[in-house]
Amino acid sequence: MTPPSATPGGTLVLDSEGLAKAVLRDRTVTVWLALARADDLRVITSAATLVEVVHPRVNRPALEWTLSRVIVEPVTEPIARHASALLAEAGLHGHRHAIDAMLSATALAAPGPVTILTSDPEDLNALCGSRATVIKI
């Protein structure tokens, strides 16, 4: 008899600060990640977030280790279109808020409930509204 496969009970989303702090093994983010694992939550980020996190001084082995434990969701055309719609709804411009919008669209496409760890709760709350819980880290 095969045991049923586990289905995640929601999704934890890391923005660029969440991912950067995970790479640095920040205590607060480490606790969130441990709780997510214990609760069988998916832990994701947007591929666009990597653009903000990767830089010449990043600890590359720590980054790769962290990314091996996070699902990096692609920015597909439907995600980009949804991000554009979120920007329009929030009255924000893509030039300044494009990556936040792509992360928000990615989060809103994930199985709920969705929790986003971010250093910028104002913008993500504007983009996601009540459809996700936004936690400042």
pLDDT at 7: 52
**Whole-prediction pTM value?**
0.91
pLDDT for 99 beyond 90? yes
pLDDT score of 14: 98
DSSP 72-106: EE---HHHHHHHHHHHHHHT--HHHHHHHHHHHHH
Peptide bond into 113 cis (omega under 30): yes
Tell me, what's the pLDDT at 8? 55
11-136 in CATH: which number? 3.40.50.1010
Residue 105's nearest CA partner among 70, 75, 136, 68 is: 75
Both tokens of 103, joined, read 């992360």
Structural domain boundaries in the chain: 11-136
Answer yes or no: is pLDDT of 1 > 70.
no
Cβ contact 129:101 at 8 Å: no
In tens, the pLDDT along 19-30 reads: 999 999 999 999
